[in-house]
A and B are shown apart, each in its own frame.
Chain A
Amino acid sequence: MENTDTILRVENIHKSFGDLEVLKGVSFDVKKGETICFIGPSGTGKSTLLRCINLLTQPDQGSVWLGGEEVTNSGKQINHFRQRIGMVFQNFFLFDHLTAVRNVEIALIKVKGMKPKEAREKALEELRQVGMEDWAEHYPAELSGGQAQRVSIARALAMDPDVILFDEPTSALDPELTREVLEVMKKLALAGMTMIVVTHEMGFACSVANRIMFMEYGEIIEQGSPQELMSDAKFERCKNFIGQFDGVNGD
């Protein structure tokens, strides 16, 4: 029945805030190692969808499955699932009172129960992965946006997650800083990390994504590979949306 390659399954997610129906039944599967990009106008429910996956927001209806286990209705177990679902935020949300390396290691120590020395080694290794090892002892306020976002990616990576959710990771960055973050993400994708990325960076989406999902008004309207998106006529609405941007060569 279930494809063993499927790491994440999202089924029929509904979410309303008061009278506003933000998600109207969103379903999709993610295979291990895939990168899925979500694009679409703002206010469409993309952030809400990501937050429903790790239950930072409780969906009204529908279910989320991680590697065959149900994440929704997991009660206190949710904290175990959240360790396996990394999240990277538009505004980084680094812990202001901790240095870069402490940001990366704190959950290893407090959540995974790792020994401080071991956690420090792993944290430094993750910072190396994102090119931030020289900044290990600096505080968030001392980092540029691009550097802060790379630290936050290292923080997510350190937990060895099955999948990482990126919510517009470069939208708060100046164009020249966007590049360094996208390069790190591209490297991760090539290394086989499973990623769900909400982004407006069409260049990144087209060159890295296995599938692109176009969302509008709380639904996935169109989906397909980047090639299909470029050539297939069925992607009319998506192309219209992209047309509002400067073109498909951002990266």
Chain B
Amino acid sequence: MDQSIFLFDILLPVLLEGFIVTIKLIVLTAPFGLILGILLAVGRVYGPKPISLLCKGVVAFIKGTPLLLMLFILYFGLPSIGITLSAFVASVVGFIMCNGAYSSEYIRGAISSIKEGQIIAAQALGMTKMQAVRNIILPQALIRAIPGLSNEFIYLIKYSSLAYMLTVIELTGAGKMVATKYFEFTTVFLMIGIGYLILVTITTIAVMFIERKVAVPGMTQSGRHMLDIL
């Protein structure tokens, strides 16, 4: 078969569909993962003892469970207690949990690196503890956590391929189907690799712009973290 016909008429249309599913997985996961990460980190550092322990336990549980096993539990296990999730939703929920747990560690680290005087000064002005956390501590912590969070985002791009194990036809899954059907492994996997590379590159550039935009003299050195990410 003509290579260009295979590439343009068969492979790329299928990959493109998978690519769009991958992007959907990522775009739906990232914001909720970040929110979960913030809640877990704040709960752990500033919550009352029971909340703090709960957050710690949740993070430990998620970090201690292989992501694939977590996905299997969500998709194959939950129906036995009456909760049925579509493969796509189960994947997103699993990714949010994973992304949130790891993000919370970066955010928690950033929170504890902030000097105590910041919250004291905020409270002296009449802010409640939660106002101080929201207006003073979190903005600083998030700026400092950008390198870690963007790493986590890049992991997410890559482990989103695990959704294929739940029958979600995302980029890797779509490619694998074509590859086995036509016995064209090299071309297909090369194209898949390029797909992920595009996503990672876009992310890296976007992170650079974000870092530059939120850069605060004395708090961050803009652009420096690009190498950490790659």
Contacts from A to B (Cβ < 8 Å)? 54, 56, 79-83, 85-87, 89, 91, 93-97, 106-107, 110-111, 139-142, 152, 155-156, 159
Q: Please state if A80 and B217 are interface contacts (CB–CB under 8 Å).
A: no
- CB-CB under 8 A from A110, the residues of chain B are 127, 131, 135
Assuming the contacts A96-B219, A106-B135, A142-B218, asked whether A111 and B140 have C-beta atoms less than 8 A apart, the reply is no
Assuming the contacts A83-B126, A97-B143, asked whether A111 and B121 have C-beta atoms less than 8 A apart, the reply is no
* In the bound complex, CA of A156 to CA of B121 (Å): 10
* In the bound complex, CA of A89 to CA of B116 (Å): 12
Q: Please state if A159 and B122 are interface contacts (CB–CB under 8 Å).
A: no
* In the bound complex, CA of A97 to CA of B138 (Å): 10
Assuming the contacts A96-B218, A97-B219, A141-B217, asked whether A79 and B126 have C-beta atoms less than 8 A apart, the reply is yes
Nearest CB on B from A156, distance (A): 8
Q: Please state if A107 and B126 are interface contacts (CB–CB under 8 Å).
A: yes
Q: Please state if B126 and A111 are interface contacts (CB–CB under 8 Å).
A: yes
* Cβ contact of A95, chosen from B122, B131, B143, B217, cutoff 8 A: B122
- CB-CB under 8 A from B120, the residues of chain A are 56, 89, 93
Contacting A at CB under 8 A, from B166-223, are: 216-219
> DSSP class of B's interface residues: helix, strand, loop or mixed?
helix
Nearest CB on A from B86, distance (A): 41
Nearest CB on A from B101, distance (A): 26
* Cβ contact of A97, chosen from B121, B125, B139, cutoff 8 A: B139
* In the bound complex, CA of A94 to CA of B126 (Å): 15
Task: Write the B95-132 contact mask toward A (1 if CB under 8 angstroms, else 0).
Answer: 00000000000000000000001101111111110010
- CB-CB under 8 A from A81, the residues of chain B are 126
Nearest CB on B from A59, distance (A): 16
- CB-CB under 8 A from A142, the residues of chain B are 217-218
Tell me if B136 counts as interface (CB < 8 A to partner A): yes
* In the bound complex, CA of A87 to CA of B125 (Å): 8
Q: How many residues of B contact A (CB 8 A)?
A: 21
Contacts from B to A (Cβ < 8 Å)? 117-118, 120-128, 131, 135-136, 139-140, 143, 216-219
Q: Name, among B125, B131, B217, the residue most crowded by chain A CB atoms within 10 Å (CB to CB).
A: B125
Q: How many A-B residue pairs have CB under 8 A?
A: 73
- CB-CB under 8 A from B128, the residues of chain A are 79
Q: Please state if B118 and A56 are interface contacts (CB–CB under 8 Å).
A: no
For this complex, 16 residue pairs linking A to B, each with C-beta atoms less than 8 Å apart, are A79-B126, A79-B127, A82-B124, A82-B126, A86-B124, A89-B117, A95-B122, A97-B219, A106-B136, A107-B126, A107-B127, A111-B125, A140-B218, A141-B217, A155-B125, A159-B126
Nearest CB on B from A23, distance (A): 19
Q: Please state if A95 and B218 are interface contacts (CB–CB under 8 Å).
A: no
Nearest CB on B from A151, distance (A): 12
Q: Please state if A107 and B125 are interface contacts (CB–CB under 8 Å).
A: yes
* In the bound complex, CA of A156 to CA of B125 (Å): 7
- CB-CB under 8 A from A107, the residues of chain B are 122, 125-127
* In the bound complex, CA of A82 to CA of B131 (Å): 14
- CB-CB under 8 A from B219, the residues of chain A are 96-97, 139, 141
Q: Please state if A97 and B117 are interface contacts (CB–CB under 8 Å).
A: no
Nearest CB on A from B114, distance (A): 8
Q: Please state if B216 and A97 are interface contacts (CB–CB under 8 Å).
A: yes
- CB-CB under 8 A from A93, the residues of chain B are 117-118, 120-121
Nearest CB on B from A169, distance (A): 13
* In the bound complex, CA of A81 to CA of B123 (Å): 11
* In the bound complex, CA of A139 to CA of B220 (Å): 12
Q: Name, among B122, B124, B140, the residue most crowded by chain A CB atoms within 10 Å (CB to CB).
A: B124
